[in-house]
Amino acid sequence: MISAKSGDPSESGKSDVEPPLGLLAELTHRCPLRCPYCSNPLELEKRDTELSTDEWRRVLSEAAGLGVLQVHLSGGEPTRRPDLANLVEHCRGVGLYSNLITAGVAFAAGLLERLAEAGLDHVQLSVQAPEPALNDLVTGRPGSLGEKLSTAQAVRDLDLPLTINFVVHRLTIERLPRMIELAVDLGARRLEVAHAQYHGWALENRQALIPTRDQVMAAVDIVDRARESYRGRLVIDSVVPDYYARYPKPCMGGWARNSLNITPSGRALPCHAAETIPGVEFPSVRSEDLKSIWYGSPLFQMYRGVDWLPDRCRGCDRREIDWGGCRCQALAITGNAGETDPACEKSPWHDELLSIAQRESTASTEFLYRSFSR
Ligand code: SF4
Ligand code: SF4
């Protein structure tokens, strides 16, 4: 059960909901890279629909008032926003820990220094492959690995904590040992081995991205050994990708349980892929404040807690561990967002998920690159 010890019942009448701890602020969908594994939606939000600086500052203040502790400044590529330092400064002013999630390319001169002066707390830098040719192939941008390595060095020179995010798929998973060495060489404190999540553009490219089971098992072994070798120097986060797992992950820690997303145009979502769910109204921070969205919006209540769970989950002792898994994956595979996540071995669609993985992991490797005009 969600605890009843806090929450804001004053307007919604609910008393069993905790305030969120994290907010993913998707400042823009613009990005100089074109990664086929990108989980942004196929219809990217255009620049002229983005929230203004003042709107974002208001949202950040509301987030702090609601109880949010950490803001992840993301996108697209958040450094495309010329007001980024202003927003970082505002985070610091209202007591929010700010984490910049960046691809680390095409930075304006002096940008990182300005962000550090504004109070940026942490940088999470994506690297697609440890070799230039493969990195370029995945990002669709020549020379991008060199730019990323320069950004990593600048982050370390500014004494900011650095996490490297290595997105793993069929073409890059075998580069994991070299990627771990690179993360250590770059002075990262943390490495996220992030298996591609099949939403948005990644779902379109699933045939080209999904690894084989043997590749996944070898990667699990490599991570286990590296955790031992680099204990005390590098923390490695990694989980088995859904298509080969026995149980689902607690997507976003549970629907509307401890974090939320705001899209570039201000739609508030319990997870970044929730816009795929049909027939629901998406609240906007342009017309509602975050508190009323978090506690009162029908979308946020739809799959919150355990009361909505299908019978097989409601009677399961993992129901408050994974909360029935990912709603968007359930929708993508079963056609019903209210079903058990097929990553669960108890789901009648579990074998279908595995057979998709087995079939597609030997299919084409031709990418459909992320683009504003598909
Ligand atoms: S995954 Fe790639 S294309 Fe998508 S936002 Fe990140 S860097 Fe840009
Ligand atoms: S049946 Fe539902 S609650 Fe139980 S492990 Fe599977 S997804 Fe989780």
Q: How far is CA 31 from the centre of its chain?
A: 16
pLDDT tier for residue 374 given thresholds of 50, 70 and 90: low
Compute the distance between CA of residue 28 and CA of residue 260 in angstroms, rounded to an integer.
16
From residue 211, how far is each of 177, 181, 196, 333, 347 by CA, in Å? 16, 22, 10, 18, 22
Residue 268 — φ and ψ, nearest 5°? -100, 130
Question: Among all ligands shown, which has an atom nearest to the Cα of 126?
Answer: 1
More confident residue, 2 or 346: 346
pLDDT for 34? 96
Q: What is the pLDDT of residues 22-69, one digit of tens each?
A: 999 999 999 999 999 999 999 999 999 999 999 999 999 999 999 999
CB 264 within 8 A of CB 50: yes
pLDDT for 242? 87
* β-pair type (268-269, 259-262): antiparallel
Average pLDDT over residues 177-196: 97
**What is the atom index within ligand 1 of the atom nearest the CA of 370?**
3
Question: Among all ligands shown, which has an atom nearest to the Cα of 340?
Answer: 2
pLDDT for 125? 98
Residue 26 in contact with ligand 1 by CB distance below 6 A: no
Question: Which of 309, 333, 339, 344 gets mutated to test ligand 2 (max ligand atoms within 8 A of its CB)?
Answer: 344
Question: Which of 319, 329, 334 gets mutated to test ligand 2 (max ligand atoms within 8 A of its CB)?
Answer: 319
Poorest-pLDDT segment among 2-6, 52-56, 81-85, 362-366: 2-6
**What is the atom index within ligand 1 of the atom nearest the CA of 103?**
7
Q: What is the pLDDT of residues 339-353, one digit of tens each?
A: 999 999 999 999 999
Residue 322 in contact with ligand 2 by CB distance below 6 A: yes
pLDDT for 272? 84
Amino acid 253 reads G
> Mean pLDDT of all residues in the chain?
93
Q: Is the pLDDT of residue 1 over 80?
A: no
Q: Is the pLDDT of residue 9 over 50?
A: no
Q: Is the pLDDT of residue 3 over 90?
A: no
Q: How far, in Å, is the centroid of ligand 2 from the Cα of 356?
A: 20
Residue 75 in contact with ligand 1 by CB distance below 6 A: yes
pLDDT for 23? 98
Q: How far, in Å, is the centroid of ligand 2 from the Cα of 301?
A: 19
Average pLDDT over residues 95-99: 98
Q: What is the pLDDT of residues 102-147, one digit of tens each?
A: 999 999 999 999 999 999 999 999 999 999 999 999 999 999 999 9
Q: Which residues contact 214 (CB under 8 A, 6 or more apart)?
A: none
Query: Alpha helices of the chain — where are they, by DSSP H?
Result: 9-12, 53-66, 84-93, 111-118, 132-139, 144-157, 176-185, 200-204, 206-209, 213-229, 290-296, 298-302, 311-314, 319-322, 327-334, 350-360
- Which residue's CA is the closest to the ligand 1 atom numbered 2? 35
Number of residues that this document lists for the chain: 374
Residue 260 in contact with ligand 1 by CB distance below 6 A: no
Q: Tell me the percentage of the chain whose pLDDT exceeds 90.
A: 87
Question: Among all ligands shown, which has an atom nearest to the Cα of 370?
Answer: 1
- Which residue's CA is the closest to the ligand 1 atom numbered 4? 38
Residue 186 in contact with ligand 1 by CB distance below 6 A: no
Q: What is the pLDDT of residues 263-294, one digit of tens each?
A: 999 999 999 889 889 888 999 999 999 999 99
pLDDT for 7? 43
- The alpha carbon torsion through 274, 277, 279, 281 (nearest 10 deg) reads 0
Q: How far, in Å, is the centroid of ligand 2 from the Cα of 319?
A: 6
pLDDT for 6? 38
Q: Is the pLDDT of residue 364 over 50?
A: yes
pLDDT for 12? 44
Residue 341 in contact with ligand 2 by CB distance below 6 A: yes
